[in-house]
Amino acid sequence: MLHNLFIGEQADLLARRQLSSVELTQHYLDRIARFNPQLNALITLTAQRALGEAAAADRRRSAGENSPLLGIPLIHKDIFCTDGVRTSCGSRMLDNFVAPYNATVVERLQGAGGVTLAKANMDEFAMGSSNETSYYGPVRNPWDTTRVPGGSSGGSAVVTAARLAAYATGTDTGGSIRQPAALTGVTGLKPTYGRVSRFGMIAFASSLDQAGVFTRSAADAALVLQVMAGFDPKDSTSVDQPVPDYHAALQMPVKGLKIGLLKEFFDGLEPKAAALIQDALALYRKLGAETVEVSLPSLPLSVPTYYVVAPAECSSNLSRFDGVRFGYRCAAPKDLMDLYKRSRGEGFGAEVKRRIMTGTYVLSAGYFDAYYLKAQKARQKIADDFKAAFTQVDLVIGPTTPTPAFAIGAKIDDPVTMYLNDIYTIGANLAGLPGISVPCGYVDSLPMGLQLIGPHFSEGRLLNAAHHYQLQTDWHRHIPRGYES
């Protein structure tokens, strides 16, 4: 089955001319038509465009070009601007917005010959951990369609898990790649802050946002990151540092690797989930890695810190949506203030409004020192904790989430409970660190993720460690029932 092949295997068939990109693209389009109605993973389908890009990729192959992503179909999270295609960010505010340019991530993957099938559903403006805040309705988890896929990149995770594309892009501000990857049984990579350009990626919290990728293996993630990563003068926080050969990094041995077991992630963790992580640690020890316990004492401050910093930045970033230059405008405004207030009040959904108001509150006179300044200090403490841990170990390991996918509707009315779902993933964003989640087994028949976090720019090491885990396990090869053929 074509859709069960990894990117490297599909590329081999394309290179040997045993398969054309048009055939592969049509195969995925057929699967989308068949499965997406029950998953609601997509906002905009770009089928005609995709077939055109596939034909162009086939011509490039005929002309002798041979690169791993040439002619491989993907799906972009609808947060990335795509020239000439609606880019909604999951919001009514941008329901009518046709992007006038490409995000750098889109540009780079297109240049490498990627074929864009569609734009994926997501939590509105990437604010959510369950993909229930989308204006276009919740995305459903293919492992159990009564459950959430996680968020905010829920659509991207689901299209990867259900094999509706070879890979998908995502963004991670507090766990929005790693958490849905864990809950849908796929591999999700969040690179170091500044490694991948944020140009053309609709901003939520600019000091935390980072683009990454969903694949079905670490080896595939290495192929995609190779193209996505790199300096971009259009993003003022893009880091001008050479991109290493991630595929070559996969081959390094794990022997001698020092892995830190995060004490705070295990205290009180449900035994079934803890057992999966212990199994993974035992496997790494068998491969010659050393495991030691490390502590991040400030970690309990990470969720409240995040829910000050991220809303503060979001309240500023989302002030651009004013009903004047683009996006939703209310009907018959009576004056300019009415135009602003009703366009924003009607164009944004409940969670986005809640976060804008939280941010406005913590930045307002009299509260700035108590909340925002304090959060920035706590953020430094958390970053210092990680830095100290990385003097003892090469990377740290723990679960991606405390529990598997929860039921749709279970937490949507209780924002604080929903926010606690990000408890294991937020620390890496606050410190700007790369992280990866790989499937590591099941709790109550639902997939769980193993999370690896490393120092800045250690993507090669993380991919390497994840790859060696996947050479010894087959969790990443499992397919949700009903999506096999």
Partner 1 sequence: MIWPYFVPQSLVLQVRVMSLTRQEVEKIAHLARLSITEQEMPVYVTSLSSIVAFVDELSRADVGAVAPMAHPLVGQSQRLRADEVEDTDRHEKYQANAPQVQSGLYVVPRVIE
Minimum distance from residue 24 beta carbon to partner 1 (Å): 32
Size of the residue set binding partner 1 (CB under 8 A): 91
Among 356, 393, 395, 465, binds partner 1 (CB under 8 A): 356
Residue 8 or 304 having the CB closest to partner 1: 304
Active-site pick, 21, 134, 152, 458: 152
Minimum distance from residue 424 beta carbon to partner 1 (Å): 9
Minimum distance from residue 58 beta carbon to partner 1 (Å): 30
Q: Which of residues 130-189 bind partner 1 (CB under 8 A)?
A: none
Residue 57 or 362 having the CB closest to partner 1: 362
Asked if 212 interacts with partner 1 (CB under 8 A), we say no
Asked if 358 interacts with partner 1 (CB under 8 A), we say yes
Q: Which of residues 56-85 bind partner 1 (CB under 8 A)?
A: none
> Is position 62 annotated as part of the catalytic site?
no
Asked if 320 interacts with partner 1 (CB under 8 A), we say no
Minimum distance from residue 69 beta carbon to partner 1 (Å): 28
Among 145, 207, 278, 473, binds partner 1 (CB under 8 A): 207
Q: Which of residues 403-432 bind partner 1 (CB under 8 A)?
A: 403, 406-407, 410-411, 414-417, 419-421, 423, 430-432
Rounded Cα gap, residues 61 and 291, in angstroms: 46
> Is position 176 annotated as part of the catalytic site?
yes
Residue 301 or 397 having the CB closest to partner 1: 301
Asked if 305 interacts with partner 1 (CB under 8 A), we say yes
Q: Which of residues 326-355 bind partner 1 (CB under 8 A)?
A: 326-329, 333-342, 344-346, 348, 350, 353-354
Rounded Cα gap, residues 159 and 411, in angstroms: 23
Among 325, 391, 445, 485, binds partner 1 (CB under 8 A): 325
Active-site pick, 176, 302, 437, 458: 176
Minimum distance from residue 419 beta carbon to partner 1 (Å): 7
> Is position 152 annotated as part of the catalytic site?
yes
Contact string (CB under 8 A) for partner 1, positions 235-264, x = contact: -xx-x------------------------x
Angle at 55 between CA 54 and CA 58, to 5 degrees: 90
Single-letter residue type at 7? I
Asked if 271 interacts with partner 1 (CB under 8 A), we say no
Q: What amino acid positions are annotated as catalytic residues?
A: 77, 152, 176
